[in-house]
Chains A and B, each alone.
Chain A
Amino acid sequence: QSALTQPRSVSGSPGQPVTISCTGTSSDVGGYKYVSWYQQHPGKVPKLIIYDVNKRPSGVPDRFSGSKSANTASLTISGLQAEDEADYYCCSFTNAATYVFGTGTQVTVL
């Protein structure tokens, strides 16, 4: 199972929106609603920020949102803040009853 494809990095100024794509196949992203997103600050444990494509756990700011179209899922940060500077990973359930993570995207706040 190959890793899902994410852009290596994205950047934006505070208050600007940024979107991270996550491209897989019909065997993973395209086949299920089970896409989740994780935020990881340097040296820290990953944190769940989106599950089931577009649901936010309690406590996650509503500037984080998720969507999916065909084999590509997306995470949007609607108004970038300094504390959003981190690495972001998508993850999908697969038709082999396994999970596959994305390659990871580094978000930089300019």
Chain B
Amino acid sequence: QVQLVQSETEVKKPGASVKLSCEASAYSFTDYYVHWVRQAPGEGLEWMGCINHHSGHSGYSRKFQGRVAVTRDTSTKTAYLELSGLISDDTAFYFCASEPLVEGDWGKHFDTWGQVTLLTVSS
């Protein structure tokens, strides 16, 4: 069964950067998108960005452009979310999720989710 395994809890100070990881264990295919979604405590879901594992093509929410980078390591099937200039409002649960291919086209939905990484930003 395909799974997305995320890195552990992070605690950072304001102004710092963080790099979260998401490993696509047991993925037998090489072409897929990984998306990053976050959820502040008690709040809703917020899409941040995504990357195509095969091509490296990425896209970002305008809200985070300039402060976020999504990358991947094809040898380990791992996607990364790097967020810089951290502020307290970045304290949230961060999910990675995969987008499936449906009948040869990208599905534009998220069918498999990682188990979540909690990021706390505090001085």
Contact = CB atoms under 8 A, between A and B. Distances in A.
Interface of A: 1, 3, 32, 34, 36, 38, 40, 45-48, 51-52, 57, 89, 91, 93, 96-104
Interface string B91-123: 000010100001000011111011110000000
Which 4 A-B pairs give the minimum distances between C-beta atoms? A36-B109, A34-B108, A51-B109, A104-B44
B45 A52 contact: no
B95 A45 contact: yes
Contact of B46 (A40, A57, A101): A101
Interface of B: 35, 37, 44-47, 59-63, 95, 97, 102, 107-111, 113-116
Contacts, number: 64
A48 B108 CA distance: 12
A40 B116 CA distance: 13
Given A89-B45, A98-B62, A104-B44, A45 B110 contact: no
B47 A34 contact: no
A61 to B, nearest CB: 17
Contact of A48 (B35, B37, B109): B109
B47 to A, nearest CB: 4
Contacts of B95: 45-46
A100 B44 contact: no
14 contacts: A1-B62, A34-B109, A36-B109, A45-B95, A45-B114, A45-B115, A46-B97, A48-B110, A51-B109, A52-B109, A89-B45, A98-B47, A99-B47, A102-B44
Given A98-B47, A100-B47, A101-B37, 7 more contacts: A1-B63, A45-B114, A51-B108, A57-B111, A98-B59, A99-B108, A103-B44
